[in-house]
């Protein structure tokens, strides 16, 4: 974490620049960030509540929360994985701690995620769900998700630099993860003998835990929050170790 703190200004600058760049040539600019999860929610809601007939109270909001949390993870990690390779032209000239680049990429996605959360809160008003104080508990949960994304990126970025296959493999895993996580449905829908395996996926556990807080009526399965914390710390430790080990060789592969 020390190189990140030392280069805090750089981290912010890169993250903000990236955010600006993402919507450079579009008319609606960053409005797209806000529209995307809403459009997704509408489609999913139509399919799963009108066609498949899932019975969950406040299904739209329930779905929206799952979607934006998933999108945060999937975008965050797939961009974190590419963060180093994408900036090869700068990194082959300027020697800065490469972790800074990965962190900044995750931070860009945290900004987008923050916007999505604002949309979510707005939708809560639209659907007439009252704000309760315990919504605040979600903040550490979101930060934990950010930490998890950063940790996973630390593992994937050097691997992807060495073998570009990891980008493809990760894409497939993410697609599988989307259906294998309780995003479209709640944890209660998952057969009891499968729940253990489901919760091995930290993103499942994270989304589940957050929903238990916001929509206690939608799920009754225990989330064991502490396991999540341990998982994230372990991934972070592995990521830091791997990243540090491979960093001196980055120059050869850029």
Partner 1 sequence: MIAIEAKGVGKKFVIPHRRVRTLIERAENILTLRWGENEEFWALREVSFEVKKGEAVGVIGRNGSGKSTLLRIVSGLLAPTEGSVRVNGRLSPLMSLGTGFQKELTALDNILLYGAYMGVPKKVMAERVPKILSFAELTRFQHTKVKNFSSGMYSRLAFSTAMQVSPEILLLDEVFAVGDTSFRQKCIQVMEKFKAEGITILMVSHSLSNIASFCEKALFLAEGKPRFFGESREAVELYLEYLDEQDQRAKQEQRRKKRESKEAGQEPEPESNRWGTGRAAIRQVRFLDAGGEAKLVVKSGERLTVHITHQSDQGIQRPILGLKIFDQEGDLVYGTDTHELGADPGPMQGRGQTAFVIPSFPVPEGKYFCTMFIKDLDDPEAIHDWIDRGPSFQVMTTTPFEGQVDLSASVDPDPGKVK
Q: Which residues bind partner 1 (CB under 8 A)?
A: 7, 9-10, 13-14, 17, 20-21, 24, 87, 89-96, 163-165, 248-249, 251-252
Closest to partner 1 by CB, 162 or 195: 162
User: Residues 43, 77, 123, CA angle at the centre, nearest 5°?
Assistant: 35
CB of 136 to partner 1, least distance (A): 32
Closest CA to 67 of 49, 50, 47, 42: 42
Query: Residue 163 or 241: which CB sits closer to partner 1?
Result: 163
Length of the chain: 254
> In whole angstroms, what is the distance from residue 95 CA to residue 143 CA?
29
* Nearest distance in Å: CB 31, partner 1: 19
Write out the E strands in the chain: none
CB-wise, 59 or 243, nearer to partner 1? Answer: 243
Q: C-beta of 243: minimal distance to partner 1 in Å?
A: 15
Nearer to partner 1, 217 or 252 (CB): 252
8 A C-beta contact, residue 63 and residue 44: yes
In the chain, the N- to C-terminal Cα span, in Å, equals 23
Q: Which of residues 166 and 236 has its CB atom nearest to partner 1 in the complex?
A: 166
CB of 163 to partner 1, least distance (A): 5
What the block records as the tokens of 221 is 């399965």
d(CA 153, CA 149): 6
Instruction: Give the number of other CB atoms < 10 A from CB of residue 203.
Output: 25
Q: Report in angstroms how near the CB of residue 94 gets to partner 1 at its nearest.
A: 4
């Amino acid at each position: 974490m020390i190189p990140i703190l030392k280069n805090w200004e750089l981290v912010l600058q890169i993250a903000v620049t990236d955010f600006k760049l993402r919507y450079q040539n579009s008319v609606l600019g960053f409005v797209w960030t806000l529209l995307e999860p809403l459009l997704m929610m509408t489609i999913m809601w139509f399919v799963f509540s009108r066609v498949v007939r899932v019975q969950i109270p406040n299904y739209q909001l329930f779905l929206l929360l799952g979607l934006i949390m998933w999108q945060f993870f999937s975008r965050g990690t797939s961009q974190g994985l590419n963060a180093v390779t994408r900036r090869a032209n700068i990194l082959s000239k300027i020697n800065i701690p490469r972790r800074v680049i990965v962190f900044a990429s995750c931070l860009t996605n945290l900004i987008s995620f923050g916007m999505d959360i604002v949309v979510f809160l707005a939708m809560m008003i639209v659907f007439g769900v009252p704000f309760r104080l315990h919504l605040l508990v979600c903040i550490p949960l979101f930060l934990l998700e950010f930490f998890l994304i950063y940790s996973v990126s630390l593992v994937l970025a050097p691997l992807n630099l060495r073998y570009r296959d990891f980008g493809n493999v990760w894409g497939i895993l993410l697609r599988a993860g989307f259906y294998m996580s309780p995003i479209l449905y709640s944890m209660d829908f998952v057969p009891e003998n499968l729940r253990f395996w489901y919760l091995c996926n930290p993103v499942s556990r994270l989304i589940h835990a957050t929903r238990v807080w916001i929509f206690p009526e939608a799920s009754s399965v225990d989330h064991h929050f502490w396991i999540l914390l341990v998982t994230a710390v372990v991934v972070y430790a592995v990521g830091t170790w791997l990243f540090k080990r491979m960093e001196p060789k980055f120059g050869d592969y850029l």
